[in-house]
Structure 1
C-alpha cells in the first residue's frame, strides 16, 4: 500500500494567498491546446474504427460470393482478434520509439500502418491479405494507445488534463460507433476506405502541432520548448516560469531508463500500479459482455443486430463523455470506485440472469455445457434483467474503468521511464484482451455461464479494493507533483 502525500500547494510561492501556479493558469488561453488535442485524438478515433470495423466486415465477408476472401467461423474469429496481437507488438515498439523520436513524430509515423493496413484490406485478394491488414492496423493501434495519452498529459495543464485525457477513450468509442453505423450502409471495402480517412487527417494536422515541451526539455531543446509553450498556453502568460518548473524536474531526473531504475520505489510503484490498472481493466469482463450482446438483443426481440451494436456503442459514448466532463471535478479515484461498484452489481445480476434462465441439469441425465449463445428456452420475462444489467455494466465501465487507466498511465510515470513503462502497460492490456477474448468460451464451459460472470464480478470487487488502497488521486496535480508524491512515498 502506498503512503505519503502529494506535493502540497504550501511548497509553492504565494502572492496574497494565491499560488503563482493559479495566477499563471488563470491567464492561460486553451484554444491552441484544444486544437493540438483534437489533432492527437484522431489517433484514438482511428483506433476505434479498427476495433469497430471487424463486426460489420465479418458480416459481409462470411456471406460474400468470392471464395478467396470468404471467412468461416474460425477465420472470422482470427480476423477479429488478430488486431490485439498486432497491438501488443505496437505497445513494445511504441515504448521504444516514443523516447527516441518524440511524441509528435511517433504519432505521425503510426498513421502510416493505419493507412497501409486498410489499403491492404481494400485490395485484398485472399484471406492472408486481410489478416496482414488487420495486423498492421493493430500495430498502429498499439502505438496510438500509448503515445496519445502521453502527448496529451505532457501538453495539457492540471485544470484540463483529466478532461482532455478522457477524450482518448471517448474518441475510441466514437470510432467504434462510427464503424458500426457506417457498416449498416457501406460494403466492407468502402468501409475500409472510410476508416483510412481519420489517420490521414491526423498525419496532416499533427504536422502543424508542437512537440511536447517536457520531451523537448529532456532533449535540451529549451528554445523549442518555450515556443511550444507559447503555442499551447497563449501570449498572456510567463512561459519562462512554466519552463523552469518543468526544467527543474527534468534536470533532477537526468539520463534515460536503465534496468537499475526498477530498484527505485519511485519507479517500480507507479510501474506496478499502471500494470495492475491495465490487468484489472480487462478482467472486468468487458469483452465478455460485448461478446454476448448480440444474443441478448436477439432474446429481447431486437432482430437487427447491427442496430443493437450501435445502441451499445452509443451508451459507451454518452457515459465516456460524462466522465470527461466531470473528471477534473470528481477525481480519478471516485469515478474508479463508482465504476467498479456499478460493474460489480451489474455483473452479479447478469450472472443471476444466467443462473435462473439456465436449464436445471438435474432434469437431464446428460447435461450439456453452455454454448456461446443464449438458449431459446430462456424465459422472455427475464430478458429485461439481462438488458438492464448489460446497459448498466457498459455505462459503469465507460464512466471509470474505460478511460481512467489510460489517463492515469499517462500521469504517474517519471519522464525518463515514461516510454518504457507505458509500453509495458499497453502490452499488458492487449495481452489480457487477447486472452480473455480467445479463452472466454473455455471459461464458460469450465465455470458455466453464470459462474463466469460471477468470476468477473469478483474481479470488479478487487478493482474497488485496489483503487481505495493503492491508486493515488492525481486530480489537479502537475506531472511533477505526481512524481514528487511517489518520491515522498518511497521515503516513508
Structure 2
C-alpha cells in the first residue's frame, strides 16, 4: 500500500538522508484531524438545502423571509470569526490536539439546537455555535497537520484540509436532496463525533511539545509519526536549533520575520473571500434558479462534485508544481469565469428566478425566455469553471501557506488574525451579496469579483513566497534573512 511505503525524510543532503520514514501513522493522524474540516464543510453546505425548506416551512415560527434567510446563511461566518480569535488564544495554551478535540462539542451542540428549534432565534444560535467551532477548526487543523508533517508531503496533506471542507459541502448538498432539514442536521452532527473518537488516540505535535520542553513526549510523537527507521534525535535537534524564545508580545510585530508573513497571510485570506466564493456556495441553488437552470436543486451537487475533484487534483500536484504557480493559474481561471458569468446576466432580458411570471408572459416574451434558456449552459459552465479554478489554488493554498509561514512563537496569534480576516470577509460578502447585486446589478457584481481575481494574481506574483520542499524551520529562517 502507498501509505506503507518508505520514503526519504526531509532534504537528501541532510545527515539522516539514509534513513527512511514510514508515513502510515502520519496519514492516520491527518485523517483524524481532517474530520474537523469535514465537519465545518457540512456546516457551510447545510444552508443551501435548508434555506429553501425553511422558507416553505409549515411552522410559522420557523419560516424564514429573505432577510432572515440571509442571516441564517451568513451568521455562521460571524461565529467562525469569533472562533478564529478564540482559537488563536487557546491553541498555544491547550495545544493543537486538545483544542481540536474540544471543537466537537460546539459542533454537536449547535446542530442539536437547530434540531430542537422553536423559533428563528434558536436557528441563529445553533448556526452561530457551529460557526465558532468551524472558526477554531479552520485555524488549528492546518497548524496541526503542518507541524506533524515533513516537507515531502506537507503540501499534499495540508491541501486535504480544503478537500475535506468541499467534501462536507457536497455531502450536505447530496443529503439535502433526500432528507428534510431536521434529519440533515442529524447527519451533519456525526463527523465531529468521529473526530473526537479518532483524535483521542493521536499524538500532540512534536514542535508544540518541544516548545513546552516535553522531550520524552515529543520523541514518542516523532516515533509514532515517522516510524522506527528514522533518526528521531536528529529531527528533534533540527526543531530545537531553530526554536526561539517561546514568548510573544505585540512589540514583535516590528520584526520583519513576524510582520512580513503576517501581512502576507492576512492579505491572502482577504483576497480569498473577495473572489465571492462563499456567496456563490451559500446561495448556489438560488444562483442557478436566477440563471433559469431547470434542475436548480441538482446544480449545487454538480458544483460540489467539481470542487471535490479539482481540490483532490490540487492535493496530488501541489508538492510538484509549487504553491505560486497554482495560485496564479487559479486567479486567471476565476477572473475569466466570473467575467463570463457576468456577461450571461448582462444578456438576460428578463428578471429570472420567477417561474410564477410565466403564466402572464405574452407569446413573444415567452419565446424570448425560451431562447434565453438555451444560454443556461453559459451560466453552468462559467460557475463550474470558477469552482474548478478556486479549488486548484485559492481554495486550499491560503490555508496551507498560513500554516507554513509563521514562526512558532507567533503561530497562534497570527493564525487567529488570518482566520478572523477570512471569516469576517466571508460574512460581509455573504450577507451583502443580495444588496450588492441590487446596487451593482448581477452582472456588475460578478465583474467586480473578476477584478478582485486579477488583483489576486498580481499580489501572488509580487508578494507570496514559494514554500515547496522547505521545512518549517527553513521557511522561518527565510523571513529572518529578508530584512
What is the TM-score of this pair, normalised by structure 2?
Answer: 0.91
C-alpha offsets along residues 131-161 of structure 1, whole Å, 9 cap, x if unaligned?
1111110000000000000000000000110
1:138 to 131, 138, 141: 131
Using the TM superposition, give the Cα deviation of residue 372 of structure 1 relative to its aligned residue in structure 2, in angstroms. 8.2
In structure 2, the partner of 1:316 is: 307
Using the TM superposition, give the Cα deviation of residue 182 of structure 1 relative to its aligned residue in structure 2, in angstroms. 1.0
In structure 2, the partner of 1:281 is: 272
Conserved 8 A contact 1:92-1:427: yes
Conserved 8 A contact 2:289-2:352: no
C-alpha offsets along residues 251-300 of structure 1, whole Å, 9 cap, x if unaligned?
xx113210111000010000000000000001112234446643554477
What does residue range 398-477 of structure 1 map to in structure 2 within 5 Å? Answer: 398-477=391-470
Q: Secondary structure at the match of 1:477?
A: coil
1:20 to 15, 23, 31: 15
What is the aligned residue count? Answer: 462
Alignment of 1:71 onto 2:46: no
In structure 1, the partner of 2:3 is: none
d(CA) in 2 for partners of 1:156, 1:106: 19
Using the TM superposition, give the Cα deviation of residue 371 of structure 1 relative to its aligned residue in structure 2, in angstroms. 8.1
Alignment of 1:325 onto 2:320: no
Using the TM superposition, give the Cα deviation of residue 23 of structure 1 relative to its aligned residue in structure 2, in angstroms. 3.2
C-alpha root-mean-square deviation of aligned residues, in Å? 2.1
In structure 2, the partner of 1:6 is: none
In structure 2, the partner of 1:269 is: 260
Q: Secondary structure at the match of 1:101?
A: coil
d(CA) in 2 for partners of 1:393, 1:207: 38
Q: Secondary structure at the match of 2:161?
A: helix
In structure 1, the partner of 2:298 is: 307
Using the TM superposition, give the Cα deviation of residue 344 of structure 1 relative to its aligned residue in structure 2, in angstroms. 1.2
Structure 1's unaligned 5+ residue stretches are 1-12, 360-369
- Residues 458 and 123 of structure 1: CA distance in aligned 2, closer, same or farther (over 3 Å): same
Q: Secondary structure at the match of 2:262?
A: helix
d(CA) in 2 for partners of 1:271, 1:373: 46
Using the TM superposition, give the Cα deviation of residue 301 of structure 1 relative to its aligned residue in structure 2, in angstroms. 6.2
1:354 to 342, 345, 358: 345
Q: Secondary structure at the match of 1:28?
A: strand
d(CA) in 2 for partners of 1:385, 1:271: 39
Conserved 8 A contact 1:372-1:441: no
Q: Secondary structure at the match of 1:417?
A: helix
Q: Secondary structure at the match of 2:337?
A: helix
d(CA) in 2 for partners of 1:20, 1:307: 55
d(CA) in 2 for partners of 1:298, 1:137: 28
d(CA) in 1 for partners of 2:65, 2:289: 22
C-alpha offsets along residues 28-62 of structure 1, whole Å, 9 cap, x if unaligned?
00000000000000000000011111122223222
- Residues 411 and 313 of structure 1: CA distance in aligned 2, closer, same or farther (over 3 Å): same
What does residue range 4-43 of structure 1 map to in structure 2 within 5 Å? Answer: 18-20=13-15, 22-24=17-19, 27-43=20-36
- Residues 294 and 413 of structure 1: CA distance in aligned 2, closer, same or farther (over 3 Å): same
C-alpha offsets along residues 343-391 of structure 1, whole Å, 9 cap, x if unaligned?
11112222222223357xxxxxxxxxx8888998662343222221111
d(CA) in 2 for partners of 1:179, 1:55: 8
d(CA) in 2 for partners of 1:28, 1:155: 13
d(CA) in 2 for partners of 1:199, 1:30: 24
d(CA) in 1 for partners of 2:272, 2:291: 28
d(CA) in 1 for partners of 2:198, 2:290: 45
2:162 to 150, 169, 183: 169
C-alpha offsets along residues 212-264 of structure 1, whole Å, 9 cap, x if unaligned?
100001111111100000000001111111011001112xx113210111000
Conserved 8 A contact 2:331-2:394: yes
In structure 2, the partner of 1:337 is: 328
C-alpha offsets along residues 70-123 of structure 1, whole Å, 9 cap, x if unaligned?
222222221111101100000000000000000000000111101111111122
d(CA) in 2 for partners of 1:36, 1:165: 12
C-alpha offsets along residues 412-450 of structure 1, whole Å, 9 cap, x if unaligned?
000000000000000000011111112223322332322
In structure 2, the partner of 1:89 is: 82
2:194 to 196, 201, 213: 201
Alignment of 1:106 onto 2:99: yes
Q: Secondary structure at the match of 1:220?
A: coil
Moved more, 104-113 or 278-287: 278-287
d(CA) in 2 for partners of 1:241, 1:200: 37
Conserved 8 A contact 1:299-1:380: no
d(CA) in 2 for partners of 1:135, 1:229: 37
Conserved 8 A contact 1:166-1:407: yes
Using the TM superposition, give the Cα deviation of residue 305 of structure 1 relative to its aligned residue in structure 2, in angstroms. 2.4
- Residues 327 and 258 of structure 1: CA distance in aligned 2, closer, same or farther (over 3 Å): same
What is the TM-score of this pair, normalised by structure 1?
Answer: 0.90
d(CA) in 2 for partners of 1:262, 1:245: 25
Q: Secondary structure at the match of 1:110?
A: helix
Conserved 8 A contact 1:296-1:386: no
Conserved 8 A contact 1:69-1:125: yes
Q: Secondary structure at the match of 1:208?
A: coil
